[in-house]
Every structure is written in structure tokens, then in C-alpha cells.
Amino acid sequence: MQKNNPPTINQTDLSDVESNSSPIQNPITGTETTQMRDLFAKEALAQIPKILTLLDRNPHSPTYGCFDRNFWHYKIIDFPSGMAQEFVLPLALAYSLDIPNNPYYLQEMIYKWVEAGIFYAVRTAHADGSCDDYFPFERASGATAFSLLAGIESYQILGLNNYKILSFFEKRADWLINHYESGKLANHEALIVLCLALLNLLLETYKWDTPKTARLERLLSWQSQEGWFTEYSGFDPGYHTLTISCLARVYELNPSEKLKDAITKAVELTTQFIHPDGSFGGEYASRNTYNFFPHGFELVGKWLPSAFFINDQFLVGLKNGLAPCYTDDHIIGHHTWNYFLAWRDFVTERPTSVSRDVASICLKEAEILIKRRPGTELYVSMNKGGVFKLFRGQKLIASDTHLSLQVKKGRKTLNAVSHLSGDYDVKIYQDELIISGNMGWAKQTQMSPLKLIIMRLVMLTFGRFFPNLIRKTLQKILITGKEDAPFYFSRHFKYEDGMWYITDELFAKSWLDVISAGIGCDQTSIYVVMSRTFQINQLQLWHDLTTEIKKLAPGQPLRIERKF
């Protein structure tokens, strides 16, 4: 078996990577502005019935105001997720915004249910103000920050005046400033900074000025020279847009040149990742998400017009049905409130054309390559072995998450994949890209009754005092790290005569234990909350290679040649 080499990038003949800034037409004309703006509201309003279904709306119920239906209704879990209380914000916005055909506008019951949701967050928080998300005594930064932001915003939208709620906000903020979660999640840090800035204004205090500044400096130190913010150990364009959304609001509250420069770099990078069909993100990114949070681009566009292009191109995709589905019980809230805010703060006077860098780019730190050729755009993840999306014109023609094998190992059936983050040998030329390395074993850990019992016992005893250690352990099991499988691959991209030729080779000492093989368009193998959502482009067929594998002699490589 060939040994995997350390990652190298051969920069021979990369003249096309140089900047090529040119004006491009805005995909939305002046006459379409209002109609396209309303797409944000339409998408958000469509989620309100589901959110109301998740809510315990019975004033005589002990769980009145709880949005975790699995807890209060089905009774299949033993604690409510604190993240679910974030859903007060989309309801508060639906209540307050005079959107065309909005049946929730100024409805008194919506007002009462939002208020009940805030009070439920107060009642179910830990004594230190934190809350749990996936296991008891987790004290999750993300859930605590998301629900605090939603509480602060909803409190102000409704015009509430309640000392108990304000005291709770203060306690929750105090916990956040002293808590540092394992891993670098820029979007969580940005949420915390925004919460502190908003709470300073709400309570008319300077109490959190120093910690807010410190946490902002910490976040800005996580921005790479390429413009992206770290999510765990890589770049995810989707979460990147949430970080921008938060920072854009922080900038409006507390402007500074340093923050403006950081936002500018972040937005300019984002213009490279809005696809020709208006879709965004995908499996070539570090966290496999199709996230897109538009609100920040409306705020930034007032002083950086290219930000409008990002939203306008995304709205074209939204109009054509390319929005991913985020309507499951846990993640429905994030995009809903952000879409409402994008509608509320939509800037109707937009430039007819903007300047955008449309050259190919190689992001060495993010290990993502974008190759643009006449009529085609190719997005490749170099640290995922060559996972790619290829567009011709305004249509996705190939989404490829690389070779995958089902392998019999004793009584178990394991999955060897080529898309786990790892060290690969990478060679880049003008019209050619070669990536090679070892496949890895996909993470397939599932919960069982015994594991859940052990988890509960741990968290009800000493685990409650070390939630970060538990979280870090789970991250290692479910997200980070790669164990090599005994298969070696090489993926070769070549552009010639207006076509992309892609050749895959797979090597193994023996194929006897391989029971199935193929290439999928949306396969992922690490646990990320916002990943594995459905998007219409995922209807591409599975490329079944099992028959070809069965024909191979021992030591004979599998070779697949395709052209697009």
C-alpha cells in the first residue's frame, strides 16, 4: 500500500489565480426588488405553523412556553433543550412585521406565547444562567447564546418591562463571558459579542464593555488572512455568513475601522462562494452545511455594495426552489429569524452592477480551490480528497462526495470514504489538479440504551462539573480525527477543450471484503448539527461501482474516467 504523503501544493503556472476584478450585472432589476425581497418573508412565514406546533401553548400546562415537543408532548426525552427557546424570536418578528399576507401580525396570542417562551427559558435555566442542548448539565455555549439573543430581541420587540427577565439576561450574559467552550466556533463567539453589545444598550450600562471587547478581539484573531473565520479547524461558508450577520450588527452598534476591515475581508470572500445557480455551500466545506444567513449582507451592503450581489444571487436560487430544508425540530429557528430580519432591513436602492473578483482562486489555508473557466465553475475541497461541485452556465451538473466503500470486517460492515479531512498529496497546475491519499473509516457511532444510561449516570454525577471535557470527548468521537482505511486513491482533474475530465483510481491489496462501492452527491461522515439537510440538487443519482469492483483481480486498481 502506498504511504500517504504530507500535503504539498505545487504552484507551477498559476497565473489564473491572480485577481481579475470586473463589473457584473446585478441579477435583480429595480422593478423586481420588492417581489424578490418578499421571498425572504414568504420563506420565514412558512415556518411559523411548524414552530407553533413545537410550542406548548396551554397556559395551564407546567411546560407552558416550552418549544421542545419531544419533551413536553412525546415525553421521549428527560430534559428540554434550551436551544429550542430561541424560537421566541421568529414568533416575535412574525408578530411585529407588517408583511403582506402575514396572518400573525399583531395577534395577541402570538404576543402571549412569545412572553411565555421567555419565561420558560428563565424557569428552566441552570442556577448560573446557562442551559443544555443535547445532554443534561451540558451547559452549551451555543444554546445559551442563541436563546439569549432571541430573548433580548423579543423582549424589546414586545416592549416588555419585567425585572425578573432582565435579571435572567444579566445572569446568562455573566455566565457566557466567563465560559470558553472546547474548539473554535466563530459563529458562537460572534453571537456572544452581539448579545453583550445589545444587553449594554438594553440595561443602559457599560458592565460588559471590557469582556465584549476581549471576546471580539479573540474572534478577530481567528480570522485567516484569506478572510474566513475558524469553525472547529476549517472554513465553512455557511457558518461564515452567520458570523458576518452578527458582526454586521455589532459594527452598527459599535463601529470601528478594525471591525470594518475584518467584515470587508469576510464579505469579499463570500462573493466567491455564491454559486452560479444561487445555491450556497455544500459538502466541500469544513462542516458540510448549506447554511445561508442573509441579514448581515443587507447591513454591510450600505457601505460595501458587493454584499448586495450575494443576497440578490441567493434570492434567484430561492425563487427557483434551491433553498435547503431546515425545518426539523432542532434547527428551524436560526434561518427563520434571520430571513425576517433580512426582509425588515432590506435596502431597496441597489446598484445595477457591482465589481467582483471572478478569477480562479486557491485558498491555501482553507484548502479550497475554485477554478473558473469560460462557462464553468469548479469548487474543490483539497483537504477532503477532491470533493467537488461543478457548474456549467447557471446549472449544477455534478456534485461529487468521492469514492465510498462498504467493507465486511468480521461481523461488522464498515464504510471507507475518501472525503474525511486529512493530509493529502496535492498538486495544482494551470488546468490540472491531482489529489491522492488514503481513504478513512467513516464515523458511524450510534447511541444505544446502555450508552444512554451510562451517559446519564456520568452527567448526573461527576460529569456535571466537567461538561467541557464531555463535549471535547464527543467532538473527538463524532467530528474530528481520521483513522486510515487500507485503500489508496488518486483523483485527477484536467480541463481540456472546454471540458473537465476527472479520473479516479483506487488501489487495494484485496477486494474480497468490499461488498459495495459508489460515489454519492451528498455523502458526509462527521456529525454536524446543520449538515445533511435536503436540497433539490441532491436528486442526482448514486454512481454504483459495485459491479466494476467485483470484476477486479487482487491488486488490480479500480479506474473511473468521466467528462463534464
User: How many percent of the chain have pLDDT more than 90?
Assistant: 79
Q: Quick check: 91 pLDDT over 60? A: yes
- The reported pLDDT for the residue numbered 12 is 34
Q: Give CA–CA dist 154/157, Å, rounded.
A: 5
Give bridge partners of residue 370 from the DSSP assignment: 361, 379
Query: DSSP for 160-187?
Result: ---HHHHHHHHHHHHHHHT---SS-BHH
Residue at 309: amino acid letter: F
**Range of weakest confidence among 61-65, 135-139, 501-505, 544-548:** 135-139
Residue 542 CB coordination number (10 Å): 12
Q: Give CA–CA dist 309/435, Å, rounded.
A: 33
Dihedral in degrees, nearest 10, Cα atoms 254, 260, 266, 268: 140
Q: Give CA–CA dist 339/317, Å, rounded.
A: 14
Helix (H, G, I), strand (E, B) or coil at 95: helix
Residue 554 CB coordination number (10 Å): 9
Q: Give CA–CA dist 17/485, Å, rounded.
A: 34
- The reported pLDDT for the residue numbered 351 is 84
Which residues, 6+ apart, have CB-to-CB distance to 38 below 8 Å? Answer: 99, 100, 343
From the centroid of its chain, how far is CA 180? 21
Helix (H, G, I), strand (E, B) or coil at 9: strand
Helix (H, G, I), strand (E, B) or coil at 469: helix
Q: Give CA–CA dist 522/564, Å, rounded.
A: 18
- pLDDT tens digits along 424-437: 999 999 999 999 99
Query: DSSP for 240-276?
Result: HHHHHHHHHHHHHHS--HHHHHHHHHHHHHHTTSB-T
- The reported pLDDT for the residue numbered 29 is 65
Mean pLDDT of 59-78: 97
Calculate helix-pair angle for 33-45, 88-96, nearest 10 degrees: 130
Q: Quick check: 15 pLDDT over 50? A: no
Which residues, 6+ apart, have CB-to-CB distance to 134 below 8 Å? Answer: 81, 140
In whole numbers, what is the pLDDT of the chain averaged over residues? 91
Q: Quick check: 388 pLDDT over 90? A: yes
Size of the chain, expressed as the number of residues it contains = 564
Q: How confident is the model at residue 479 (pLDDT cuts 50, 70, 90)?
A: low
First to last CA, the chain: 31
- pLDDT tens digits along 167-210: 999 999 999 999 998 889 999 999 999 999 999 999 999 999 99
- pLDDT tens digits along 238-255: 999 999 999 999 999 999
Query: DSSP for 21-74?
Result: EEEEE-SS-GGGHHHHHHHHHHHHHTTHHHHHHHS---TTSTTTT---HHHHTS
Q: Quick check: 560 pLDDT over 60? A: yes
- The reported pLDDT for the residue numbered 528 is 83
- The reported pLDDT for the residue numbered 146 is 98
- The reported pLDDT for the residue numbered 94 is 98
- The reported pLDDT for the residue numbered 257 is 98
Pull the grid cell for residue 236: 465553512
Q: Quick check: 23 pLDDT over 70? A: no
Element (H, E) at 427: strand 425-429
- pLDDT tens digits along 391-408: 999 999 999 999 999 999
Which residue, 562, 558, 543, 559, is CA-closest to 502?
A: 562
Alpha-carbon dihedral sign for residues 397, 278, 291, 360: positive
Q: pTM of this prediction?
A: 0.93
- The reported pLDDT for the residue numbered 296 is 98
- Return the half-sphere exposure (C-beta side, CA atoms, 13 A cut-off) of residue 456: 10
User: What DSSP designation does 129 have?
Assistant: S
Q: How confident is the model at residue 377 (pLDDT cuts 50, 70, 90)?
A: very high
- pLDDT tens digits along 151-178: 999 999 999 999 999 999 999 999 999 9
